[in-house]
Amino acid sequence: MRRLSKQSTVTAIHCVLLLAALGAVGCESPTPPKIESQPSSPSVTTTAPTPAPVENWNYSDNQNEITGAKRHWACTTSAEGMKLCLRRTGHTDESYANFSDAGEGQFLCLSDDCTFHAKFDDDKPTSFSGTEAAGGKTTMLFIDSTPRLISDLRKAKVLKLQAPVYEDTGTVYHFNVSGLKWP
C-alpha cells in the first residue's frame, strides 16, 4: 500500500471538505481550488406577526336570583383611574362613571347642575348631564342620555372626559374605547 505525502493528505482532506460543501463529484487537482467568497444574500425583510387586538372593554353578565332579570355589563378604565360602565337590565341601558374609592375621586354635583364634557376622537366637545348615585355615594355618577353616549362610543376610538370632581382643577380622563361590542 502506498503511503501519501503530507501535501497529498492535506489535498485529499480539502477535496473531501470541498465535496461535502459543494456537492461536487470529483477532485483531481493536487491543489485545492480557491473557494471564492459568495456574495452576501440580499437582506430579507420580515414583518413581525400582527399582535392580537387589545381588549379595551371588560364584559360580564349576571342574573338576579330572585327576579331572574339578566344584566349585561361593559366597562373600561381610563389611564387616570376612572371607570366607565354600560349596564343593560332587560331593555334598559344605563351608563355611569365611578372611582374605586373616595381616595381616587369624588363627583361633585352642585344643586341640579351635574354637567360634564366629553370629546370623542377629534370631534367637537359635547356635554352630558349626570345624576349622583342614590344614597349619597359620591364615587359614582350616572350619565343621562345613555343611548347617545353608546352611539358615540361605538364610532369612537378615544374618549376624553372632564367631569365635576371634588377638589379637582379640570383633570381630563382618557379612555381607549375602540371595539365596543354592545347589543
Which pLDDT score, from 0 to 100, does residue 90 have? 84
Read off the pTM: 0.67
Residues spanned by CATH 2.60.40 within the chain?
58-176
Q: What is the mean pLDDT of the chain?
A: 78
Spatial distance between the Cα atoms of 97 and 104, rounded to a whole number of angstroms: 13
Q: Which of 15-19, 23-27, 44-48 has the highest mean pLDDT?
A: 44-48
In the chain, the percentage of residues whose pLDDT exceeds 70 is 69
Q: Which overall architecture, per CATH, does domain 58-176 show?
A: Sandwich (2.60)
The span from the first CA to the last CA of the chain, in angstroms, equals: 91
At 118, list the grid cell.
366629553
Spatial distance between the Cα atoms of 138 and 117, rounded to a whole number of angstroms: 18
Which pLDDT score, from 0 to 100, does residue 113 have? 75
Q: Where are the alpha helices (DSSP H) in 27-155?
A: 146-155
| pLDDT surpasses 50 at 11 | no
Q: Which residue has the higher pLDDT, 153 or 27?
A: 153
At 78, list the grid cell.
381610563
CA 110 to chain centre: 37
Quick count: other Cβ atoms within 10 Å of Cβ 142?
A: 19
| pLDDT surpasses 90 at 183 | no
